[in-house]
Amino acid sequence: MITRSPYVSPDDLYLFNQGQLLRAYRSFGSHLCELDGQGGTAFAVWAPNALEVRVAGEFNRWDGTNHPLTPAGTTGVWTGFAADVGEGALYKYELIDAEGRKRLKADPFAFQSELRPGTASVVARLDGYEWRDEQWLQHKQQHPPYERPMLIYEVHLGSWRLEAPEQFRTYAQLADELVDYVCSIGYTHIELLPLTEHPLDRSWGYQTTGYYSATSRYGPPEGLKLLVDRCHQRGIGVLLDWVPGHFCKDDHGLRLFDGTPLYEDSDPRRAEKPNWGTLAFHFGKPEVQSFLLSNALFWLDVYHIDGFRVDAVASMIDLHFDKPDGMRTWNRHGGTEHLEALDFLRRLNETVFGHYPDSLMIAEDSSAWPGVTSPTYKGGLGFNYKWNMGWMNDMLRYMGTDPADRPACHTLTTFPMMYAYSENYVLPLSHDEVVHGKRSLLHKMPGAYEEKFANLRLFYGYWFCFPGKKLLFMGGEYGQFDEWKDDAGLDWMLLDYPLHAAMNRYMHRMSEVYASLPPLWELDHSPEGFCWIDPDNAEQSVLSFVRYSREEGRHVVAVCNFSGRAYSDFRIGVPAAPAYRVLINSDAAEYGGRTTAAWPLVKTERTKRNGQPVSLTLNVPPLAFILLEPLRSAGRQRKMNQ
C-alpha cells in the first residue's frame, strides 16, 4: 500500500474544507490510475475524527490491516493507493473511531455499489462512453423552457414494466422500450424517481446511501448513460429526483460515519427526521456543502442529466417541519427558518446555473415561502420551477366531490389563479397522489364506472389548459385503476379494455394538441396569456376561459362542464372571430364518451357576452371538456384579468 493518492492535491483539500470544491468526485472516492509505473486504485475519504482508516474488501478478505490510508495533514481527509486493487473490486472503508470501535462504511463517493442486499462499494470507471447527444445539447441552449411545451412523464423504473417480482428491466432495455413509449405518447421529458443507490426497494430511492452511485438494480452505469443518451437522441429531456434533504440511517451509510455526527448535525433535534426515520444533512458544514454541490454537478457532468426535481424543500427550510414540540429549535434570530438550508439551496442553484445555464431546477415545495423561483440576486431561492401543490390539492379535492355538490366548492377551481403567476409552476399529478391508500386518479373520481372516466377526461382537459407546465405519473395516461403498486408492474392489460384504450387515445390526442398550440404554453408565466370568460358560474359548475399566445389574435377557448347535466344552446362570450372549430370534445365516442355526431364549425354572433365582443352557443355534454380554436382571427381583443 502506497500512502498517497495522485488525485488529491493540496488545493483540493483546502477547497473541500472551505465548501468550495465543486467537483469533489474527481478527487475523492476510488479512482483507477497508475502511480510510479504501477496500476491500481487511489482512495480518498473524509473522516476527521477517526483514529485509523483502512480499505477492506474481497482482495484482503475484508481485513484492512494491510491497506491503511494516511491522513492528509489536518484536513480530516485520508488517502492512499493500492496496486493490488482493480476494476470491479468490492470494498468498504474500515474506520477505527475514537473509542476504538471498528466501522465498515460504504464509500460516500463510490461510483457503483453492490446489488442489494450487498452493501459494498465497487471500484468502477466512468469514462469510455461515447455520447451522441450533441444535437440535443445545442437544442437546449437555443430553446429555453419557459415559452416551450413541457409535458413530463414521471417514472419509477422498477415498476414501469415488471414481468415478475424483482425481475427489473435493465437500463439498456428501458433505453428501447421506455423511450419508444414516451415518444409515442408525445411527452417532452421523463422524470425518474431517484436513481441514487438505496438499500430498500420500497423507499423508491428517497432514502439514499450512495449519492454518486446509479443504483445497480437496473444494471451498470453505462446502461444509465445509454438510457439518457437515447432519450436525448429522440428529443426527450431527462430529469432526476434528487434528495439533498436527508439520508437513511443504515449502518453502512453516512450516519456517524467516523463515529461522530459528520454529515448530520450534532444536535439530534436538528438531525432527526422522526416521521421518516432519516437524518438531515448539516447544511452549514463546508465539507457537506462540497459533497452535495459536487453531487449535483456529478449527475450533470457524467450522466448528462437535464436537471433535478429537488425533493422535500419544505422540510429543509423549516426547522419545525414535522417536529414534535420537544425537538423544535430556533435560528439565531429566534425564527423557525433553517438559515443554513436556505443558503445551501441558493448556492445549489447558483452553482448549477453557473455551470449549466439551461438546466431545469424544480422545487418540490409545499410551503408558502416566497420567491422560490426568483433569482438569488433578488432574494429568491433561485429555482426556475416549483411544483404547484396548492393547485393539485384543490383540484383533486374538487374532482373527488360528487358533481351535485360541486357548486358549494366551486372556488377551489378558480382560487389557484390568484397566485398562478407568483412563481413559475409545474402542475404535478405525481406518484405521491396515487399511493398509500390515496387511490389512483381514476379511482378518486366519483360516480359509476363510465362517470369516473368522464370526470378524469374532463380533469385532464382542464389540467392541459391551466397555466403551468405539466407532470403526470406513469399509468395515468390510460387510467390505471388500482393505486400504484411499487412492487409490481403497471396494469398494462387494461389497454385491452375499451374505456382504458379510449382514455389512452384521448391523452395521446391531448398531448398532440398541447404540443401544437402555443396558446397552451407560450405565456404560461405571464398574466397576458390567460383570461377568464366566466369563472363564477358555480350554479351550473361550468368554467370557461381563454389562453393566448404571443402571436396577435392567436388563442384557444376552453369550456369545462364539471356538472352531471347537459346544457343545450349554452352561450359564452369569445374574442372576436367569425367561427370556431372544436379541437377536442372529451365526450366524443372515440374517447369513451357518448357524443357520436361530428361537430360542425361553431359560428359566432354579434351578441356581447361575458365582457367579450361576440358570443357563440354550444351543446355542452355532462362532465365534458371542450377546446375551441378560432377559424380565423379578427384581431386580438381580450378582457384582462381583474
Is 312 in a helix, a strand, or coil? coil
Q: Which residues pair with 52 in a beta bridge?
A: 96
* b/e code 211-220 from CB counts within 10 Å (16+ = b): bbbbbbbbbb
Active site residues: 311, 364
DSSP of 5-25 = -TT--HHHHHHHHTT--TTGG
Amino acid identity for residue 185 in this structure: I
Q: State the DSSP H helix or E strand holding residue 470, giving kind and residue range, or none if neither.
A: strand 469-473
Helices (H), 123-162: 134-142, 157-160
DSSP characters over 261-276: -SSB-SSHHHHEETTT
- Bridge partners, 190 (sequence order): 153, 238
Give the three cell numbers for residue 364: 418540490
Q: For residue 127, what are the contacts with CB-CB under 8 A and spacing of at least 6?
A: none
Strand bridging mode 542-548 / 102-105: unpaired
Contact 239, 189 (CB under 8 A): yes
Inter-CA distances, 319 with 270, 340, 361, 362, 527, Å: 7, 10, 23, 21, 34
Q: Which three cell numbers stand for residue 544?
A: 370557461
Q: How far is residue 336's CA from residue 338's CA, in Å, rounded to a whole number?
A: 6
Residue 150 class from Cβ within 10 Å (0-12 exposed, 13-18 middle, 19+ buried)?
A: buried
- DSSP one-letter string for 201-264: GGGTTSS-SEEEEE-GGG--HHHHHHHHHHHHHTT-EEEEEE--SEEE--TTSSTTTTSS-SSB
3-state helix, strand, coil in the chain (%, to 5): 30, 25, 45
d(C-alpha 467, C-alpha 461), whole Å:
12
Tell me how far apart the terminal alpha carbons of the chain are, to the nearest angstrom: 74
Nearest to 34 by CA among 7, 56, 55: 7
Cα dist from 99 to 95, 105, 259, 286, whole Å: 11, 17, 8, 25
Q: Return d(Cα 257, Cα 97) in angstroms, integer.
A: 9
- CA-nearest of 14, 17, 30, 19 to 6 is 30
Of 153, 144, 260, 156, nearest to 198 by C-alpha is 156
Q: What CA–CA distance (Å, rounded) separates 426 from 415?
A: 17
Cis ω before 117 (30° cut-off from 0): yes
